Chain A
Amino acid sequence: GAVVSQHPSRVICKSGTSVKIECRSLDFQATTMFWYRQFPKQSLMLMATSNEGSKATYEQGVEKDKFLINHASLTLSTLTVTSAHPEDSSFYICSARSTGGVGTQYFGPGTRLLVL
Chain B
Amino acid sequence: AQSVTQLDSQVPVFEEAPVELRCNYSSSVSVYLFWYVQYPNQGLQLLLKYLSGSTLVKGINGFEAEFNKSQTSFHLRKPSVHISDTAEYFCAVSEGNNAGKSTFGDGTTLTVKP
- Chain A interface residues (CB < 8 Å from chain B): 4, 6, 32, 34, 42-44, 46, 49, 91, 93, 95, 97, 101-110, 112
Q: Tell me, yes or no, whether B63 is within 8 Å of chain A by CB.
A: no
User: B105 touching A104 by the CB < 8 A rule?
Assistant: no
Which of B32, B43, B49, B94 has the largest count of A CB atoms less than 10 A from its CB? B43
User: B101 touching A104 by the CB < 8 A rule?
Assistant: no
User: A104 touching B90 by the CB < 8 A rule?
Assistant: no
Q: How many residues of B contact A (CB 8 A)?
A: 23
- Chain B interface residues (CB < 8 Å from chain A): 32, 34, 36, 41-46, 49, 51, 90, 94, 96, 98, 100-107
User: B49 touching A103 by the CB < 8 A rule?
Assistant: yes
- How far apart sit A100 and B41, CA to CA, in the bound complex (Å)? 30
Nearest B residue (CB) for A46? B101
- How far apart sit A26 and B68, CA to CA, in the bound complex (Å)? 35
Per DSSP, chain A at the interface is: strand
Given contacts A42-B106, A43-B90, A44-B90, contact A106 B100 (CB under 8 A): no
Count A-B pairs with CB separation below 8 Å.
58
Chain A residues closer than 8 Å to B104, beta-carbon distance:
43-44
Which of B32, B103, B104 has the largest count of A CB atoms less than 10 A from its CB? B104
- How far apart sit A68 and B103, CA to CA, in the bound complex (Å)? 22
- Beyond contacts A103-B49, A107-B43: 13 other A-B pairs, Cβ-Cβ < 8 A, are A32-B100, A34-B101, A46-B102, A49-B100, A93-B44, A101-B100, A103-B96, A103-B98, A104-B46, A105-B100, A106-B46, A107-B44, A109-B42
Chain A residues closer than 8 Å to B103, beta-carbon distance:
46
Sort A-B residue pairs by CB-CB distance and give the 6 closest, nearest first.
A103-B32, A107-B44, A109-B43, A107-B43, A110-B43, A97-B100
A3 nearest CB across to chain B (Å): 11
Nearest A residue (CB) for B52? A102
A33 nearest CB across to chain B (Å): 10
